[in-house]
């Protein structure tokens, strides 16, 4: 008999965790021999269209309620600890008993999970975050609720060893933990043609945490030193207008292109010479993993996630966080020395083997059994 599994997420927005889950559920017939349900707090986002609704039952927590209603209820909970509104809705939606419930993202999904501990034989939660440098979920919870909820889990999965270390520093609980790297679906896009223009690619939400401002400042230096290039920043978010202002301020509108969100950014990645990550904080960068699988040379800021994935510089070049001069120098080194470019292409190919979906699924099966 198939096991019944419930995944909980906040939304299916354009984030790394959401992409991983949508890629997994899209291939559920091939890899997951389970009956799968999905509870979504805010039923929107571009990856929602990838969920096979004939195979996965979707529960919409907010239903057709106004955003203001649940914003108001979250504020009441945050400042008073009153949860009755959330519990009532959960009782209305989830009436089944599951073999395993997995809150796949931090924050609201973990909070919703807390109402369902008695609805599953096994309660598991996923940690994608670096809680030491970016404990953003703290603003959602009343008192010590977040820590108390994590203490009630049966198993905690983190996406990297560094994410595990940061989680243990903040929460210090004794729940069984396991590290499972995210997977990447290999894309067969090939570079379309050689060009004299050096092409840079980066992927991520246009938010402050991704620090694309640093990349733009570095490219200003590169341009001032007489080098030609194109840079594609793939993603969407609240920082778009600020980034446009910086691009215009530094006269980079012909060199730096904001593509917006792309469901499939792999054509741009395949046609790039170099991938760059500039984040302030990363526990596991799916974009870096995708660049490794695409065999692209990588420059990344020294976040804990990038240092782990690139083995402290063995598989890619690192620079100090928010240091545009260092980044500019690293970019110029790749532009000038083609041998370095070829060397790191080979290193990326070597490292890419750790992101196979078969390994990911096997480890999930071991967790659930």
Q: What is the pLDDT of residues 129-145, one digit of tens each?
A: 999 999 999 999 999 99
Which pLDDT value is given to residue 62? 92
Mean pLDDT value of segment 71-81: 93
Token pair of 196 as six digits: 């004299």
Q: What is the pTM of this model?
A: 0.86
H helix runs in the chain, sequence order? 16-26, 28-31, 67-80, 84-93, 108-113, 145-151, 161-171, 212-224, 240-249, 266-270, 286-293, 304-309, 324-336, 338-351, 357-368
Please identify, in words, the CATH class of the domain defined by 198-354. Answer: alpha beta
Give the CATH superfamily of 3-179: Glycogen Phosphorylase B; (3.40.50.2000)
Domain boundaries defined on the chain: 3-179, 198-354
Which pLDDT value is given to residue 188? 67
| 3-state SS record for 281-317 | CCCCCHHHHHHHHCCCCEEEECCHHHHHHCHHHCCCE
3-state helix, strand, coil in the chain (%, to 5): 45, 20, 35
**Tens digits of per-residue pLDDT, 179-198?**
999 999 887 665 555 567 99
Q: Is the dihedral of CA 100, 126, 24, 96 positive or negative?
A: positive
Which pLDDT value is given to residue 369? 82
Which pLDDT value is given to residue 185? 87
Between CA 304 and CA 83 the distance in angstroms is 35
Q: Would you say the CATH fold of 198-354 matches that of 3-179?
A: yes
Which pLDDT value is given to residue 190? 57
Between CA 300 and CA 203 the distance in angstroms is 12
Listed in sequence order, the residues at least 6 apart from 199 whose beta carbon sits closer than 8 Å to its beta carbon are 229, 230, 231, 232, 271, 272, 273, 274
């Amino acid at each position: 008999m198939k096991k019944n599994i419930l995944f909980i997420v906040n939304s299916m927005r354009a984030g790394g965790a959401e992409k991983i889950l949508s890629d997994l559920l899209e291939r559920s017939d091939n890899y997951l021999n389970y009956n799968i349900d999905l509870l979504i707090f805010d039923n929107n986002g571009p990856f929602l269209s990838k969920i096979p609704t004939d195979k996965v039952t979707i529960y919409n927590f907010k239903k057709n309620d106004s955003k203001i209603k649940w914003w108001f209820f979250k504020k009441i909970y945050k400042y008073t600890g009153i949860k009755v509104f959330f519990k009532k809705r959960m009782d209305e939606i989830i009436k089944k008993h599951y073999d395993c419930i997995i809150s796949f993202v931090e924050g609201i999904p973990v909070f919703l999970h807390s109402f369902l501990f008695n609805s599953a034989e096994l309660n598991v939660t996923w940690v994608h975050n670096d809680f030491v440098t970016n404990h953003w979920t703290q603003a959602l919870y009343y008192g010590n609720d977040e820590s108390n909820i994590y203490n009630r889990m049966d198993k905690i999965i983190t996406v990297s060893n560094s994410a595990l270390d940061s989680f243990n520093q903040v929460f210090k609980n004794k729940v069984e933990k396991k590290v499972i790297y995210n997977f990447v679906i290999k894309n067969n896009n090939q570079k379309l043609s050689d060009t004299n223009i050096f092409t840079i690619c980066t992927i991520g939400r246009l938010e402050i945490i991704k620090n694309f401002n640093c990349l733009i400042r570095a490219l200003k230096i590169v341009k001032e030193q007489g080098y030609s290039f194109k840079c594609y920043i793939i993603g969407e978010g609240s920082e778009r207008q600020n980034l446009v202002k910086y691009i215009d301020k530094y006269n980079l509108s012909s060199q730096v292109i904001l593509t917006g969100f792309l469901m499939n950014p792999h054509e741009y990645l395949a046609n790039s010479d170099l991938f760059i990550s500039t984040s302030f904080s990363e526990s596991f960068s799916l974009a870096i993993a995708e660049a490794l699988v695409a065999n692209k040379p990588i420059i990344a800021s020294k976040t804990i996630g990038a240092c782990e994935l690139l083995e402290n510089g063995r598989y890619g070049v690192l620079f100090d966080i928010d240091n545009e001069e260092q980044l500019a120098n690293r970019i110029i080194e790749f532009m000038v020395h083609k041998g370095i470019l070829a060397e790191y292409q080979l290193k990326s190919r070597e490292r890419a083997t750790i992101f196979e979906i078969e390994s990911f699924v096997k480890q999930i099966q071991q967790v659930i059994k």
